Amino acid sequence: MRLASLRRSIDSDVALFLLVVGFSLAYLSLFIFISPYDMADEGYLYYVVKRLTTGDRPYVDIELHSYLPLMFGTFVAYSDIAGDSVIAFRALMAVGLSLAAGFAYLSLKTVVPRRWAVFGAIAIALVPGPFFKFYVRLLQLAVLAAALWWWRSRCNLAWALFVVAGAAGLVFRVDVLYAGLALCVAMLTAAVAIAVDMAQVVVSKW
């Protein structure tokens, strides 16, 4: 019975994760074509990617400001498959932001009921911020979701996700990893505080 209940819980979480991701992707797809073009950060991203595709080298031919090479390398590899148009790049960013909303659900369900976690994740998806900053939200929430999952289950898959997301943070932008870990501390502190309050309520009723 316990195993069956656990399986139903996992199935529910997977279904709600996919629901949030699907909604987010449909919503964000509306903005791929109409979002204003940012000549500074977004233009810089495309400029560096274009330079790399022509054979220029980071730190030798191209000066990088606070960004690490792997982020641009990811877009270079992607452009080989999908092309180097702004629309193609924004499509990838929309997928990243949608996955971030899914990770937000997985994080929130640790401290609130599932329905509120879904509402919270959708609220996050509705305010995506600049598309070209997608990796910030994605990696922070992936680190947070993996840490909370491992804290509750001691699951090896959760630990693997935490290591992968953390490693990605180290090679994309280190401050993203730090922010994700800070969110972990904040959420765990909130979870402990809620558990203590519930225990005090139970004790007071005795």
Rg of the chain over Cα atoms, rounded to whole angstroms, equals: 20
Give the mean pLDDT of the chain.
81
Beta bridge partners of 34: none
Is the Cβ–Cβ distance between 97 and 134 less than 8 Å?
yes
List pLDDT tens digits, range 17-61. Answer: 999 999 999 999 988 888 877 777 888 888 888 888 888 888 778
- The pLDDT value given to residue 26: 95
Confidence of residue 1 (pLDDT cuts 50, 70, 90): very low
List pLDDT tens digits, range 149-167. Answer: 888 777 888 888 888 887 7
Q: Which of 98-107, 150-159, 171-180 has the lowest mean pLDDT?
A: 171-180
Q: Which residue has the higher pLDDT, 107 or 187?
A: 107
Give the containing element (helix H, strand E) for 41: helix 41-53
For residue 83, the SS3 value is coil
Distances (CA, A) of 134 to 165, 166, 175: 14, 16, 14
8-state DSSP, 36: P
Sequence-distant (≥ 6) Cβ neighbours of residue 143 within 8 angstroms: 162, 165, 166, 169, 177, 180, 181, 183, 184
Long-range contacts from 156-165, C-beta under 8 angstroms, 24+ separation: 165/139
Residue whose tokens read 């910030």: 136
pTM: 0.79
List pLDDT tens digits, range 109-132. Answer: 888 889 999 999 999 999 988 888
Q: Which residue has the higher pLDDT, 100 or 5?
A: 100
Residue whose tokens read 């979480």: 13
